[in-house]
Structure 1
């Protein structure tokens, strides 16, 4: 379960329907072109929190079929509707997903005991492994080391997707839990995560920039940190331009320009601004995407 995982993009048509062939193509290009080690399915990058339960199930099924055991699969099933999270967890487990993941429950100010119960319920109902999805900037949920201690007592909680800029906390968790999986969740900070000893990374830009990300990881592991920084600088130049143009919209448009049917984003998210097509074409050429 170590390595680089793309937070999988999902293509939609203008009415918000899943474009099945486009999704299959994106899965294949992640595996064959970006050479990722796994796929993180139905996370933020898949616009998950705007989808119906049935759409989420459809995505899990299509990805499982197209992957056909080639790389590891993590199913993000988190929801503030615990019944839905359990239903999705059971379904993904039946499809053979290697682990579940769940975002910390958000919007309402849940107590830690409520958050712990949420994870323990999903695990008990599915009997699958769990990777905590910690992204405090979007959920408002920040956990301290003592709370991670409580969660990690459950042997089925095998790790955390750590999307946080608190590298002191990351260092503390790495030292305290050498046998738990820690995934870096910020693509623009990948090098710092690898230097801190993460087991892998999960991110949206790996759908188009996975090869560079794997290069950063390999160089760090070889002790060639200066060279890794040079690749991170290029990567962050790319990320900066993608963010300027609109994150998910631009990632999809890059894939569209490369001949994959990545569709558009699901409303209320806006689609790509067609007046910026030439900027995307230049992006593809300049960064050899």
Structure 2
């Protein structure tokens, strides 16, 4: 697969859990089919923040990679997020996902400790040296505290296996500078509420959690903006941001899981992985109101 074939709208896959913290496999398969068949997404980003990945054991991460590949097969792009603070686990997961046939891997910048850029760069270079796949840097400075500038991105991109970045930041000056400096590398927008300005800045795609439930509307934003129909795209972004604001006010992941249930993904438990809290009855009730107000009548 050429890098061009990784472009598009990609859902950051949510994972439903059982009361004991195990993966609800039937529910996960439903979510995958829902994304492909109803949300019409181009790909799945598996093992990211939306999948509650950083609270999971290595074997559970592998299980999720297995299920996603088995269910999606080759119908859509599959990107495996393998990163964390443990380089050796990231290498093992990257090799595992590659053997399964994932189209690319991604890795969050190592966090918690205040790593220097040289340490971050070595982490990525060591990872791609051991994994025979392409890599997309996952940059989310609000959660990791790791800021990467244009010159540093260019250093990372000197490695031909590092093909792009999931850019989850609100710094549109940096995004514009990066797009101009690195026209041949892939840039994916990571903030769903900022999809329109990201597309105006010529991102190659977008990866986000709300695409699990709002993929159809997000597709309209993407395509209208690419066609230069900015005011029409803005109107859809306004609708989307009303939805996103309501979701954030009610609790991001618990609410999206409840919205997925209301859209027909209702096989078994749709809990979060502790210590993350699952939806309260109040949140469940509010999710129904959000669904009725913003999603019930959305069509292609």
TM bin (shorter chain): over 0.9
Matched-pair contact (CA < 8 Å) for 2:154–2:182: no
Q: Secondary structure at the match of 1:155?
A: coil
Match of 2:52 in 1: 47
Q: Of 65, 69, 80, which aligns to 1:75? A: 80
Rounded to whole Å, the distance in 1 between the matches of 2:295 and 2:154 is: 43
Rounded to whole Å, the distance in 1 between the matches of 2:176 and 2:90 is: 30
Unaligned runs of 5+ residues in structure 1 are none
Query: Are 2:287 and 1:280 aligned?
Result: yes
Distance 1:146 1:276, change over 3 A: closer
Q: Of 142, 151, 160, which aligns to 2:147? A: 142
Rounded to whole Å, the distance in 2 between the matches of 1:81 and 1:103 is: 11
Query: Are 2:107 and 1:96 aligned?
Result: no
Q: Of 255, 258, 277, which aligns to 1:270? A: 277
Q: What per-residue deviation string (whole Å, max 9, x for no partner) do you get for residues 262-288 of structure 1?
A: 611000000101123332212112213
Q: Of 5, 10, 21, which aligns to 1:5? A: 10
Match of 2:3 in 1: none
Match of 1:131 in 2: 136
Match of 1:31 in 2: 36
Query: Are 2:207 and 1:184 aligned?
Result: no
Residue 15 of structure 1 and its aligned partner are, at CA, apart by 1.1
Q: Secondary structure at the match of 1:17?
A: coil
Rounded to whole Å, the distance in 2 between the matches of 1:279 and 1:57 is: 34
Rounded to whole Å, the distance in 2 between the matches of 1:23 and 1:276 is: 21
Residue 256 of structure 1 and its aligned partner are, at CA, apart by 1.6
Match of 2:199 in 1: 194
Residue 65 of structure 1 and its aligned partner are, at CA, apart by 0.4
Query: Are 2:67 and 1:62 aligned?
Result: yes
More divergent stretch after superposition (260-269 vs 100-109): 260-269
Q: What per-residue deviation string (whole Å, max 9, x for no partner) do you get for residues 156-177 of structure 1?
A: 1110000011111101111111
Rounded to whole Å, the distance in 2 between the matches of 1:280 and 1:45 is: 18
Rounded to whole Å, the distance in 2 between the matches of 1:110 and 1:277 is: 40
Q: What per-residue deviation string (whole Å, max 9, x for no partner) do you get for residues 170-224 of structure 1?
A: 0111111111000000000000100000000000000000111110011011111
Q: Secondary structure at the match of 1:73?
A: strand
Root-mean-square deviation (CA), in Å?
0.9
Regions of 4+ moved over 3 Å: none
Rounded to whole Å, the distance in 2 between the matches of 1:170 and 1:259 is: 37
Rounded to whole Å, the distance in 2 between the matches of 1:244 and 1:165 is: 19
Number of positions where the alignment pairs a residue of Structure 1 with one of Structure 2:
289
Query: Are 2:95 and 1:105 aligned?
Result: no
